Structure 1
Amino acid sequence: MNDRPEKLLDNTSWQILAILQENARIPFKELGKQVKLSAPAVAERVRKLEEAGIITRYRAELDLEKLGLLITAFVTFRSFPDKCDELKQLLNETPEVQSSYRITGSDHYIARVSVTSVGHLEQLVDRFIPYATITTSIVLSKPFAERAIGKDIFK
């Protein structure tokens, strides 16, 4: 692909990205109407954004509570010196871990986890005790959902 990512990101592309972040299943015809382009022109722009790696995937967002995952928590891990690789592997293999990040500071990783109960959270934490010092923070509420990334973030 010859287009550099910054070349692809004009105002129309940013509009397309904003709309797709809200509704990735929108038909190209409707997307085109909203950005004042034809469906084939929009499809070509989306294809180029995918090829450039700007759009990396499409996914369904689930209501975790309706699935019985009533508790979300953030867990920080300060790995024991010889256990960092094992901790990273366990984070990757644990289904309750929704996302994890390697971080700076006194801790080494932070993970967002989803569990069915406090007892389930305790069992999850116990799995990690041999690998790290752990701090857990239970989410009480979510003031807003995932924020879409827009052009205004670069101001």
Structure 2
Amino acid sequence: MKIDDVDRCLLEALLEDARLPLKELAARVGMSSPGVSDRLKRLEENGVIRGFTLDVDPKALGYLFQTIVRVRPLPGNLHVVQKALQDTPQITECDKVTGEDCFVVRMHVRSMEELDQVLDKIAEKAETSTAVVKSQPVIRRLPPVL
């Protein structure tokens, strides 16, 4: 799907505030509300817009530690480890990567004890290397909408 300048303008506006009313979006791009509605529907149908999300601070829910864990499954355990990672609610992101490790996981835990409990579940099936996140100078964001 080809993205034009109107689509880019709509995406940029929604990235700033996904709750903008249709009327305001229409005014920003100089179109009617039904026209903007059709464009947004097309962007969703074509997978450009995958959804609208809520951004909640994990610390407000008691998750004091954020970690990044590199996971290297032991031979024959790739699919078992992947399933275990998918089934662990503290894991908020998981990427399957190239290189020495197979997975890079972002996890939120309430305590170091909880971190140990989570890692213990895969300890017999994988090697892990854990880093505690001190700060996030760049919060997850999209590349430029050009």
State the Cα distance separating 1:35 from its structure 2 match: 2.1
Secondary structure in 2 matching 1:98: strand
Alpha-carbon distance in structure 2 between the residues aligned to 1:19 and 1:146: 17
TM-score (norm 1): 0.89
Q: What's 2:109 paired with?
A: 115
Contact 2:11 2:145 in 1 (8 A): no
- Deviations, residues 22-50 of structure 1 (Å, cap 9, x unaligned): 32221111111222222111111100001
Q: What's 2:50 paired with?
A: 56
State the Cα distance separating 1:148 from its structure 2 match: 3.1
Secondary structure in 2 matching 1:112: strand
Q: What's 1:100 paired with?
A: 94
Alpha-carbon distance in structure 2 between the residues aligned to 1:61 and 1:76: 25
State the identity as a percent: 31
Moved over 3 A (4+): none
Q: Which runs of 5+ in 1 are unaligned?
A: none
Whichever residue aligns with residue 79 of structure 1, its letter is P
1:74 aligns with 2:68: yes
TM-score (norm 2): 0.94
State the Cα distance separating 1:150 from its structure 2 match: 2.8
Tell me the matched-pair count.
146
1:126 aligns with 2:120: yes
- Deviations, residues 51-101 of structure 1 (Å, cap 9, x unaligned): 111111111111111110111111111111111110010011000010111
1:136 aligns with 2:130: yes
Contact 1:18 1:150 in 2 (8 A): no
Q: After superposition, where does 1:25-36 map in structure 2 within 5 Å?
A: 25-36=19-30
Alpha-carbon distance in structure 2 between the residues aligned to 1:16 and 1:149: 15
**Further displaced range: 121-130 or 94-103:** 121-130
Alpha-carbon distance in structure 2 between the residues aligned to 1:22 and 1:73: 27
Choose from 89, 110, 119 the match for 2:83: 89
Q: What's 2:33 paired with?
A: 39
State the Cα distance separating 1:125 from its structure 2 match: 1.3
Secondary structure in 2 matching 1:72: strand
